[in-house]
Chains A and B, each alone.
Chain A
Amino acid sequence: MKYFAGIDIGSTAIKISIVDENKNLIGFKISASGSMFYKYAQETLDALINELSLDSNDIVYIVATGYGRKLYKEADENISEITANAIGARAAASDFGEIKTIINIGGQDSKAISLDSEGNVVNFAMNDRCAAGTGKFLDVVALKLEIEVDTLSEYHFKSTGTPLPISSTCAVFAESEIIGLLGNNHGIEDIVCGVHYSIAKRIVKLVKRVGIKEGIYFDGGPALNSGLVNAIENEIGQKIYVPQNPQTTTSFGAAIMGVDSYNYANN
């Protein structure tokens, strides 16, 4: 059996997925990007190969993607995270039906991708080089509120008052707004809820640029936050699909791409 690896080097985390020649997901691993992308990517790949009791020679093709993809020189190929995300989403949601739109919120950017019925990318919109409405933003919020980032959704659903709007989604300015709200004794629940809605509104604007359709797939680390998921659902007015492993969709897509590229080159 031949195996294929997809390595997604993001700003916050490195995500690696391994598939077999039938494009079935065999395993994945997530680790922090830290300061040495290349070194950590290699270590994570080695660890994953070990965990799966494979040999490094079993991996016949590696596709790198994500913001740090060009730093991983051992890759046989590298593709943009937008293409990889589209391929991964379609495969991960095979039980759901047709995915027409992908919302991806990463560590430091967010994007909306529109797909045609073949799964090809037809349009995409990105918020670039700004932490507004990204995972980093949620980190900053959690830090200021002195709570863990993975408890944000619990607070969200405990909110009983009006969600408190954060007028600035700039991570730097929002921080001082949150300090102001805390200083005036507003409940953490309503603050968290307001933060989620302000991110959701921003994301929906992005989605509108590519057109809102039925069949929306949401991935990236923040998709694990069900409070944020619900806020986006409310703003967009429909249910959205969150995959079991929202962080690894893109690396999964890269690995699948590897199978196709390998077959194409060797047949």
Chain B
Amino acid sequence: MSIETNHHIESPKEKQNRHKAMEAISLLNSLREDFKAPIESMEYFYDLFERVHCKHESLHDDKTKIGTMCIQIPSEIIYALDGVPIRLCNGFYTDDEIGSDFMPQKACPLVKATVGHFASNNFTDKPDIVFSPTTCDQKTKAGSMIESFGYKFIDVDFPRTKDSEASREYWRRSVKQFALDLSKFQGKKLTKANLKNAIKKIGYAQSLYNKLSDFRKNEVVPILGLDVFLVTNAFFFDKIDNWIEATQKLISELEIRAKEKISPAGKASPRIVYTGSPPIFPNYKIPQIIEESDGIIVADETCSSNRMFNDMVAIDEWNMYDMMDSMSDKYLKACTCPIFTKNEDRIRRVIQLVRDYKADGVIYQAFAGCTVYEMEQRSVLEAMEKEGIPILYLESDYSPSQGGQLSTRVEAFLESLKTRRRNKK
């Protein structure tokens, strides 16, 4: 005889949703509750992520959703052709575990999670088509796998060098091809007026990001790095007009906080520039450890945040050719992704950020399995040493169990920065 229970047993999708909701809520609650002087207008973003990841609401039922796999796909063209770009880089451990069945064991968790998400076919906003720039090996190879799951998937050829005129030409051709493909898919023509509007709108969003970043140069930093990551991650999928409005509100609140010198950080909190594999919601493991250990992230050099917004499209004449070429250049020449053969730009950018944001040190995080970031660690560390900038290199993944070990190393590094600052005085 058994005790009869007639409770519903979750389907695999329901289980995946619950697991992801639990991952999301624990980060969101920590952001809402664990830090002093919370920012009121951040609630828009907390609520946005809760709606999408805990309540599984769709945002774009009325639009064609254009999935992108990296930052190099020009969103300007997608908006100009009346689509919504949805960046599918994934930060969920739940999806990482699902993806593990398809990928080598030592693969990058971001790619595994992205593949897992596609394999589960469980989207709040399912992409109607996916464009994938051929950036790193794992993403490139994952493409054919994702296509085999039954998605409409198009590779966009991306060069691995950026210094030559040939690669520039090559990429400009790829962007034109992308525009043609999407235009055909949407059944719409790319017009000069629409593209100009889209470039201006994204340019405006970029200018808001820059304004937001300027506050972090202040001696009293009014916003957590964690919150900024959330704002920039929201740009992956939010309705752009809503994002702009919410970010404007946030900036107004930061103006007041800056004047009143309100900060979530302590007086002696070391200022950190964060670089390496991108923090993507809800994998904010390292940033969370940093800011819970009395550090404050003042700037970052990652493709989930700064790299998305840093460089504007520079247009001389608003004609189609000039717009297309300038836009292509922005996504290639300004990109500091470690997939490139040489990447002096990235080192220069990190050093510049340290100076502009008066940082005490750099934390460089690479996902175990993200070979290019793991490899580039060496040249970045050497360069920082030459400049006398303290740097900590960490490897991590999406698993929730590593916390203790990593936090000891981060704490020790932050303490050494505090001592260094004290001794300088």
- Which B residues lie within 8 Å of A197 (CB)? 18, 22
Query: Which residues on B sit within 8 Å (CB–CB) of A164?
Result: 22, 25-26, 29
Q: List residues of chain B with CB within 8 A of the CB of A234.
A: 9-10, 14-15, 18
B292 to chain A, nearest CB (A): 13
- Which A residues contact B (CB, under 8 angstroms)? 92-93, 95-96, 157, 161-165, 167, 180, 184, 186, 194, 197, 223-224, 226, 229-230, 233-235, 237-239, 241-244, 246
Pick the 9 closest A-B CB pairs, nearest first.
Answer: A244-B1, A162-B21, A162-B25, A234-B10, A230-B7, A242-B3, A165-B22, A162-B54, A165-B26
Q: Which residues does chain A contribute within 8 Å of B2, judged by CB atoms?
A: 93, 95-96, 241-244
- Known contacts A224-B3, A243-B3; 6 further A-B pairs (Cβ under 8 A): A163-B21, A164-B29, A230-B9, A234-B14, A237-B12, A244-B2
Which of A165, A235, A242, A243 meets B25, CB within 8 Å? A165
Q: Which of A234, A238, A246 has the most CB of B within 10 A?
A: A234
Alpha-carbon gap, A242 to B3, bound state (A): 5
What residues make up the interface of B, taking CB atoms closer than 8 Å to A? 1-3, 5, 7, 9-10, 12, 14-15, 18, 21-26, 29, 32-33, 54, 400, 403
List, sorted by A's number, 12 A–B pairs whose CB atoms are closer than 8 Å.
A93-B2, A95-B2, A161-B54, A162-B18, A163-B18, A164-B29, A167-B26, A180-B33, A184-B32, A226-B7, A230-B7, A234-B9
CB distance from A131 to the nearest CB of B (A): 18
In the assembled complex, the CB of B55 is this many whole angstroms from the nearest CB of chain A, namely 8
A162-B54, A165-B26, A184-B29 known; A238 vs B5 contact (CB < 8 Å): no
Complex: A238 Cα to B33 Cα, angstroms: 36
Q: B3, B32, B54: which has the most chain A beta carbons within 10 Å?
A: B3
Closest-CB distance, A30 to chain B (whole angstroms): 16
Q: Is the CB of B5 within 8 A of A237?
A: no
A95-B1, A242-B3, A243-B2 known; A237+B9 contact, CB < 8 A:
yes
Residues in B with CB closer than 8 Å to A233 are 7, 9
In the assembled complex, which residues on chain B have CB atoms less than 8 Å from the CB atom of A223? 3
What is the CB-to-nearest-CB distance from A233 to chain B, in angstroms, rounded to a whole number? 5
CB neighbours of A226 from chain B (8 A): 3, 5, 7
Q: Which residue of B lies closest to A235 (CB)?
A: B15
Q: Provide the bound-state CA to CA distance between A229 and B29, in Å.
A: 27
Q: Which residues of A contact B29 (CB under 8 A)?
A: 164, 184, 186
Interface of B is mostly: helix
Closest to B5 in A: A226
- Chain A residue nearest to B23 (CB atoms) is A165
When chains A and B are docked, how far (Å) is the Cα of A93 from the Cα of B1? Answer: 7
Nearest CB of A to B310, in Å: 34
Could you say which of A96, A161, A239 contacts B9, with CB atoms under 8 Å apart?
A239
- What are the residues of chain A within 8 A of B3 when measuring CB–CB? 223-224, 226, 242-244, 246
Closest to B4 in A: A242
* Shortest Cβ gap from B34 to chain A (Å): 9
CB distance from A60 to the nearest CB of B (A): 27
The distance from the CB of B48 to the nearest CB of chain A, in whole angstroms, is: 15
In the bound complex, residues from chain A placing their C-beta under 8 Å from that of B12 are: 237
Q: Which residues of chain B have C-beta atoms less than 8 A from A186's C-beta?
A: 29
Distance A229 CA – B54 CA, assembled complex (angstroms): 23
List the A side residues contacting B1 at CB < 8 Å.
92, 95, 243-244
- In the bound complex, what is the Cα–Cα distance between A164 and B15 (angstroms)? 15
Q: How far is the CA of A165 from the CA of B400 in the complex (A)?
A: 11
Separation of A23 and B381 alpha carbons in the complex (Å): 72
- Cα A223 to Cα B7 in complex, Å, equals 14
A102 to chain B, nearest CB (A): 14
Question: How far, in whole Å, are A38 and B23 apart by their CA atoms in the complex?
Answer: 47
Chain A neighbourhood of B26, CB < 8 A? 164-165, 167
CA distance A92 to B10 in the complex (A): 27
Asked if A162 and B15 make an inter-chain contact with CB atoms under 8 angstroms apart, the answer reads no
Minimum CB–CB distance for B159 against chain A, Å: 43
Complex CA gap A194/B3 in Å reads 23
Q: How far is the CA of A136 from the CA of B3 in the complex (A)?
A: 22
Residues of A within 8 A of B54 (CB): 161-162
A165 to B18, CA, bound (A): 11
Contact indicator A237/B22 (Cβ below 8 Å): no
The one of A92, A194, A242 that contacts B22, using a Cβ cutoff of 8 Å: A194
Query: What is the CA–CA distance of A235 and B22 in the complex, to the nearest angstrom?
Result: 13
Given A167-B26, A167-B400, verify A229-B10 contact (CB < 8 Å).
Answer: no
Expressed in whole angstroms, the Cα–Cα distance for A233 and B21 within the complex equals 18
Residues of A within 8 A of B9 (CB): 230, 233-234, 237-239
